[in-house]
Amino acid sequence: MYSAFFFIFFNLLAPLISGVAALGTLYRCDQRDPATVKAAGGFKSWGADTPSVERLYKHVEGTDTATDPFISTSTDIECGQHGKYRYTIDSSNITQKIWDVNAELTKAGGEDGFAFEMEQAVEFEIPWVAVISVEMKRGGFGWFEPMSMPAKQAPFAHDAHARLARI
């Protein structure tokens, strides 16, 4: 009985200590196709500045993107409709810190003019293993349709080279 309590307690406490939020599903729209994102190992930030609330303000304002350490995601599936592809991401596979943009800016005494976006800013990297599905926008009206994902792992070793050649 006590072991179950401690197991649950520490599983709830671990994300708080590590700074990695247990958010569940995140969404990111992007112009890059799944094969390109997979080849890069996932999504990477444009820059490597030290993450801070001040840097988060610049991220939200879209200034100084070359040094931006954050990657935009949202908890709202309807947000971020500007990309050709919508990626569904399992946040439990993200090891980097995830910043709740609205909460951080409010805590700092500021205001986010884009609070409706429900943005979660991920530091530095979202690994490809965190991507659980991809949809492609069809037409100009923002309709997304599911598409097949590049293989995460070849089922048979002898088939691995053939599969990699197709991606």
Domain spans, the chain: 20-166
DSSP-assigned states of every residue in 32-74: S-HHHHHHTTEEE-S--PPP-HHHHHHHHHT-SGGG--EEEEE
Has residue 153 got a pLDDT over 70?
no
Has residue 158 got a pLDDT over 80?
no
- CA pair distance 72, 86, nearest whole angstrom: 12
Amino acid identity of residue 117, one-letter, is E
Residue reference for tokens 């599936």 = 77
Right CATH number for 20-166 from 3.20.20.150, 3.90.210.10, 3.90.1300.10, 3.40.640.10? 3.90.210.10
Structure tokens at 108: 């700092």
Task: Report which of residues 46 and 142 the model is more confident about.
Answer: 46
Residue reference for tokens 């500021």 = 110
For 72-127, write each residue's pLDDT tens digit: 999 998 876 678 899 999 999 999 999 999 888 888 776 666 656 779 999 999 99
**CA torsion angle 55 59 64 68 (round to 10):** 70
Chain centroid offset of residue 29 CA: 10
Q: What per-residue confidence (pLDDT) applies to 116?
A: 60
